[in-house]
Amino acid sequence: MTHKRLPIRDRVRELRRVRGGDLVPHPRNWRTHPEAQRQALCGVLAEIGYADALLARELPDGRLQLIDGHLRAESTPDTLVPVLVLDVTDSEAEQLLLTLDPLAGLATTDTLVLDELLAQVHFEHDEILAALGESFQRATQEVLDRVTVPSPEAGGAPVGFDLSGRSPAGASSDAIPESSPVQAAATSTGATSTVISGTDNLRSANESGPPADARYCVLVQCEDEAEQLELLERLQEEGHTCRALIA
* Residues 74, 79: Cα–Cα separation, whole Å: 10
Continuous segment of H or E residues that includes residue 82: strand 80-86
Rounded Cα gap, residues 184 and 188, in angstroms: 6
56: nearest Cα among 84, 28, 82: 84
- Give the Cβ contact number of residue 59 at 10 Å: 11
pTM of this structure: 0.56
Residue 162: helix, strand or coil by DSSP? coil
- As to burial, measured by CB atoms within 10 angstroms (0-12 exposed, 13-18 middle, 19+ buried), residue 183 is buried
Q: What domains can be seen in the chain, in order of their start residue? A: 12-105 (3.90.1530.10), 111-245 (no CATH)
Give, for all 247 residues of the chain, the pLDDT tens digit: 556 777 899 999 999 999 999 999 999 999 999 898 899 999 999 999 999 999 999 999 999 999 999 999 999 999 999 999 999 999 999 999 999 988 888 888 787 887 788 788 888 888 887 887 777 666 655 555 555 444 445 444 444 433 333 333 333 333 334 444 434 433 443 433 333 333 333 333 334 555 565 656 677 778 888 888 888 888 888 888 776 666 5
Q: If residue 19 lies in a helix (H) or strand (E), which one and from where to where? A: strand 12-19
